[in-house]
Amino acid sequence: MKYYIIAGEASGDLHGANLMKEIFKKDPEANIRFWGGDLMSNVGGTIVSHYKERAFMGFIEVIMNLRKIFGFINFCKTDIDKFKPDVIIFIDNSGFNLRIAKWAKEKGYRTNYYIAPQVWASRAGRVEAIKRDIDKMFVILPFEKDFYKKYYYDVEFVGHPLIDGIAGRTQIDEQDFRDEFELGEKEIIALLPGSRKQEITKMLSTMLLMVEKFPNYQFVIAGAPSQTKEFYKDFLEGSKVKFIDNRTYDLLSISHAALVTSGTATLETALFKVPQVVCYKGSWISYQIAKRIITLDYISLVNLIMDEEVVTELIQNDFTEKKLEHELQMILSVDKRNEMFEDYFDLENKLGGKGASEKTARLIIENLKS
């Protein structure tokens, strides 16, 4: 079978890689062509475009790069037509993927979507287009199946792939890890400032103000796979903070607490049972636009899945030095930590257990054969 997979960003690359592994297990002769990243490349297949080439953040930057974005869209359509896949698998990245899906469905290609567009957050009217353009939808958040049911669209809840990724990782020796990166013996507070340059710059400047306020802890920046170590140099000069590149899971596995930019990282941090403060600050214009179209009470996946405030969210004007210091102090207290640990275990149970990648690959292949 011929599979064409389109993923964007680091998280899409991770989930795409795990899905590809399962496809190859079930279909050893699979011919996979994909848009993704290094993790997918390491599994096999043929890469068409790396997600780093398409990493545009916020409404303003997207508008400024529209010509380049439409160039990618046109190239993708041409490439699909040359490859003639048996199925196109879209992973997250809805702004790009839904445009390709509309064209692909009109051309008669079989379309599957893994990790659904977050239409439950804003512009629910897009569900009708999704119903029209996507043959099979595989969702990873427990509330999504009920959401789509309201629109008479039957989707498959397969569980969250992060559970597999975390459970299957190689365990590290904490002391060896500390020695390798000269972390000393202090408890570690991980800083996860995001994956794009603009958000990292905005988030880290405030996060790093905590280093002097909590001298009994070792602060460590988790480098994003989408950025080079060189990019972080300015943040490290003259600072007591440490930097670890592309080892976020290993860092979280030994962390005492974390300051996390909103996104997939909030859920990853929760699954490692690390108390966290969720942070986010975008440009004023992007925030004003988002505030008017997003209909959610929360922005972190942890709170959305639990439908209550399990982790504190410091968003836009609330993301200040004073409030961050207060909330960090809170998650370092014993009572708050115990409360958060209990909520984290409930969260993991809601996510449906292991096997998301395997189940999705099996259903895709079964549908192709039927």
Amino acid, res. 216: N
158 with 140: CB under 8 angstroms?
A: yes
CA nearest to 144, candidates 320, 291, 305, 343: 305
Q: How many angstroms separate the CA atoms of 286 and 283, rounded?
A: 5
272-291 pLDDT per residue, tens: 999 999 998 865 455 454 45
pLDDT of residue 246: 87
pLDDT of residue 155: 96
pLDDT of residue 289: 47
Domains (ranges, CATH) in the chain? 2-159+355-369 (3.40.50.2000), 167-350 (3.40.50.2000)
Buried-exposed string 84-116: b where 16+ CB fall within 10 A, e elsewhere:
ebebbbbbbbbebbbbbbbbbbeeebbbbbbbb
132 with 105: CB under 8 angstroms?
A: yes
pLDDT of residue 193: 94
pLDDT of residue 292: 46
- pLDDT < 50: residue spans in the chain: 60, 284, 287, 289-290, 292-293
pLDDT of residue 293: 45
